[in-house]
Amino acid sequence: MPKLTRRGTADSYRKTWHVYYGDVRAGAIGERAGVPVHGDQWGWSCGFYPGIELRQHRYGTAATFEAAREGFEADWNVLLPEIAEAAFDEYHRHRALQTWKETIWAAGLPLPTQADCNATAARRSISIAPIYTLKRSI
């Protein structure tokens, strides 16, 4: 079973960590914006989409980072048994589709549904065969 790991973000305005379960981004822990000084300064969100329904996600606040981390882990331990393996598969399929779309756009090509892709590629003398191979592997 994968462990939860944290990775810091490049947000220069507030401290935020993305929390991963294996290669799935399971949520985030971070400083809350616009909170009065006497309120809880840290918050967490636990869950991922697509894969699990938004109503299943869990949220909370805490006074310190350590308390927020503990709250996240407690929520994750309650949520994890409710998550079907198909939810992780759906998340991976969505991520693969996003990668494929970004690859097509980075090559300067429209998606197949946006235009006559073969005519566009012929005008630009770009081979699109390797890109469509990626699509079939999804």
91: tokens are: 């998340």
Check residue 121 and give its pLDDT.
Answer: 55
pLDDT digits over 26-62, tens only? 999 999 989 999 999 999 999 998 888 888 899 999 9
CA distance 124 to 122: 5
- 25 closest CA partner among 62, 64, 52: 52
Rg over CA atoms, the chain: 20
Check residue 111 and give its pLDDT.
Answer: 84
Check residue 80 and give its pLDDT.
Answer: 93
> What's the 3-state SS for 51-81?
CCCHHHCEEEEECCHHHHHHHHHHHHHHHHH
The pLDDT of residue 135 is above 70: no
Q: Parse the chain into domains and list their residue ranges.
A: 4-82, 85-136
Strands (E) in the chain, as ranges, are 4-8, 16-21, 24-31, 42-46, 58-62
pLDDT digits over 79-99, tens only? 999 999 999 999 999 999 999
Cα dihedral value 6, 86, 112, 105, nearest 10: 0
Confidence (pTM) = 0.72
The pLDDT of residue 129 is above 90: no
Give the neighbor-by-neighbor strand order of the sheet with 16-21.
Answer: 4-8, 16-21, 24-31, 42-46, 58-62
